[in-house]
Structure 1
Amino acid sequence: MPDLAVGGQAVIEGVMMRSDDRIATAVRIPSGEIKIKTDTFISLTKRHKLLGLPIIRGAVSFIEMLFVGIKSLNFSADVAVSEIEREEAAKNGQEYHEQKRKPNSLLLAATVVLAMGVGITIFFFLPLALSSLLNIQKEALQFNLVAGFIRVALFILYVWGISLLGDFKRVFAYHGAEHKSIFAFESGAKLIPEDVVAYSRRHPRCGTSFILIVAIFAILIYSISDTLFAILTGHAPTLMVRFAIHLALLPLVAGGSYELLKLSGKTRNSPITRVLIAPGLWIQNITTKEPTPDQIEVAIVALESAMGIKESNLLVKRVPV
């Protein structure tokens, strides 16, 4: 098994893959070609020793991958828009000249902040507010167990809801292609669709599993913090104080969850690990679908480019950085 870290995500009609020093986003266009964009990317956790420490690296990596993920989604959206414009020009008998769209760093940052704001409101504040209606604020463990259950339930409802949308079914199939390709690579298999298709579309290091680990780990951390607050002040925290404390501790929760996820990837055959990752793998039955061979091809191209592997004989069109 290659001793190289690789991860990724599905995008619009494609897959993004990342290695220790590169990010590659491959997108299938109507002509059958695969457009691919490769960027050099070295994590802050690799460039700064302090940021590479356990727990801290998890929080930093979480923020980095939000930026990388949204940037890759924007690229795939730009490709989709370009193809629509190309088709419109062809219908009108006009020559199409593709315009290179420059990335807007400010817009990217604003998108990340907005995404985090919506996520925090729905998956952190709302569970606290609903749990407060039960008048169990003084029972730290009970309160956070209920909040954690609501948090997980909201997440499952969210992914189930979007899985019903037609466009997302293809995205989830590309998600499955991403997992199969990574599994095949980690197993040392030949990266061709005929071999890759045999591997599981559910991967223990998936971001879906990470989110569930965050929800479970949060119950422990937040129960401790709420108990300490009650001991120090003599009363349970109010809703807004509790939310502020939990929000401040979110980097710790994310960092600790990241370490647990890394550990699960290294000890995936352990009985304990299998029990811990089982809920995440189950959720992936919703967030991944069986990919077609052409979708697997796209994932393979992205993986090969990210890892610097000699590419297969596929129709690939590189996009200037």
Structure 2
Amino acid sequence: MEDKLVSYGGQAVIEGVMMRGSKALAIAMRAPDGEIALHVEKLAGIYKTRLAKIPFLRGLVLLWDALGLGMRALTISANIQTGEDEKLEGPALYFALGLSLVFSIGLFFLLPATAGGLAEKYLDWNPWLGNVLEGVVRLLLLVGYVWLVGFMPDIRRVYSYHGAEHKTINAFEDGAELTPEIVAGYSREHPRCGTAFLLTLVLMSILLFSLLGPMSLGWRLVSRVLLLPVLSGLAYEYIKWTAGHLDSKIVQALIRPNMALQLLTTFEPDLEMLEISIASFNAMRDADIEFAL
């Protein structure tokens, strides 16, 4: 991917949007009083290190950093909404983040692996069929989860801000003027979305785990956790490659499932949400220029 493609990404947060550039990130949030609250900070130097340039390993390094940035952005936005008296920080914050990570690994990796292992043991399926079942269960859980939580009013608003983030980046990459009315006309799908990464990871897990052959249920569960970093590195490289070859008809066909899944994780934003997303993008761009001097 070229620098322009690598540099600009983002994430929806609670009543706002985080935008990440090459040197800075910015979070714009709608405060309870209706005003726009901005948070800007300089990115860590990890993006310029040698580790961030080694294929496959760079995916783990950058994804780990992105996970930390995303969690911090969500925390900042949540604290804006709750105020000083109910601020989430310290041990309570780390416990909540750790619990979320354990829940995600258990739901999307260990539960499907258990289903596949039990099918092999009690239904006398061969390992290949067991791994296919595991992959199908994992895929259904992912799609079902993002679809079901979208019915929750608070998550629905986050999904709308997610759409605003995509529209803003699409408008910028098209050279359009960033006003809510103009940005509203752009697509809410984007090929570098985190949703695309998750779907790619799930599909690759079917291929990788099918190569492992028969094993006990215990080793099956351990292998899924240990190979998660490998899958993440592979998925990152695939997303990076497709984003750099979007002019290819083959690549356009390959990314259609990823783009289609985004219809579940992005909703159409209103103009006020687009105003927030544009404010975040402009603040990030201004900070990028400032930190480059």
TM score, norm. by length of structure 2: 0.89
1:174 aligns to 2:152 (yes or no): no
Indicate which of 270, 273, 277 corresponds to 2:248: 270
Q: Kindly tell me the number of residue pairs found equivalent between the two proteins.
A: 285
Alignment of 1:209-288 (within 5 A): 209-224=196-211, 226-227=212-213, 236-288=214-266
Work out the CA distance in 1 between the residues paired with 2:266 and 2:88.
31
Q: CA deviation at 1:183?
A: 0.7
1:200 aligns to 2:202 (yes or no): no
Q: CA deviation at 1:132?
A: 1.9
1:132 aligns to 2:117 (yes or no): yes
| Contact persistence 2:242–2:251 (CA under 8 A) | yes
Q: Which residue of 2 aligns with 1:123?
A: 108
**Given the superposition, is the C-alpha separation of residues 2 and 189 from structure 1 closer, same or farther in structure 2, using an over 3 Å criterion?**
farther
Q: CA deviation at 1:168?
A: 1.4
Work out the CA distance in 2 between the residues paired with 1:102 and 1:66.
18
Work out the CA distance in 2 between the residues paired with 1:168 and 1:28.
15
**Given the superposition, is the C-alpha separation of residues 216 and 100 from structure 1 closer, same or farther in structure 2, using an over 3 Å criterion?**
closer
Q: CA deviation at 1:269?
A: 3.2
**Given the superposition, is the C-alpha separation of residues 266 and 51 from structure 1 closer, same or farther in structure 2, using an over 3 Å criterion?**
closer
RMSD: 2.4
Q: CA deviation at 1:254?
A: 0.2
Structure 1 counterpart of 2:104, one-letter code: G
SS in 2 for 1:275: helix
Work out the CA distance in 2 between the residues paired with 1:102 and 1:201.
31
Which runs of 5 or more structure 2 residues have no equivalent in the other structure?
289-293
| Contact persistence 2:196–2:259 (CA under 8 A) | yes
| Aligned residues with identical type, % of pairs | 36
Work out the CA distance in 1 between the residues paired with 2:45 and 2:199.
24
**Given the superposition, is the C-alpha separation of residues 107 and 44 from structure 1 closer, same or farther in structure 2, using an over 3 Å criterion?**
farther
SS in 2 for 1:133: helix
Work out the CA distance in 1 between the residues paired with 2:128 and 2:47.
33
| Contact persistence 1:184–1:191 (CA under 8 A) | yes
Deviation by residue 1:7-44 (Cα, 9 ceiling, x = unmatched): 11111111011112111111012433210101111352
Give the helix-richer structure, 1 or 2: 2
1:303 aligns to 2:281 (yes or no): yes
| Contact persistence 1:20–1:42 (CA under 8 A) | no
Q: CA deviation at 1:107?
A: 4.8
Work out the CA distance in 2 between the residues paired with 1:110 and 1:80.
20
Q: Which residue of 2 aligns with 1:40?
A: 42
Work out the CA distance in 2 between the residues paired with 1:289 and 1:102.
28
Moved over 4 A (4+): 98-103, 106-109
1:152 aligns to 2:139 (yes or no): yes
Which runs of 5 or more structure 1 residues have no equivalent in the other structure?
83-97, 228-235, 311-321
Deviation by residue 1:31-63 (Cα, 9 ceiling, x = unmatched): 33210101111352423x134311111112222
Work out the CA distance in 2 between the residues paired with 1:37 and 1:134.
50
| Contact persistence 2:32–2:81 (CA under 8 A) | no
The answer to which of 36-45 and 143-152 deviates more is: 36-45
Alignment of 1:75-86 (within 5 A): 75-82=76-83
Work out the CA distance in 1 between the residues paired with 2:75 and 2:287.
25
1:52 aligns to 2:53 (yes or no): yes
Structure 2 counterpart of 1:44, one-letter code: I
Deviation by residue 1:196-247 (Cα, 9 ceiling, x = unmatched): 11110011111111100000111222222x13xxxxxxxx211110121221
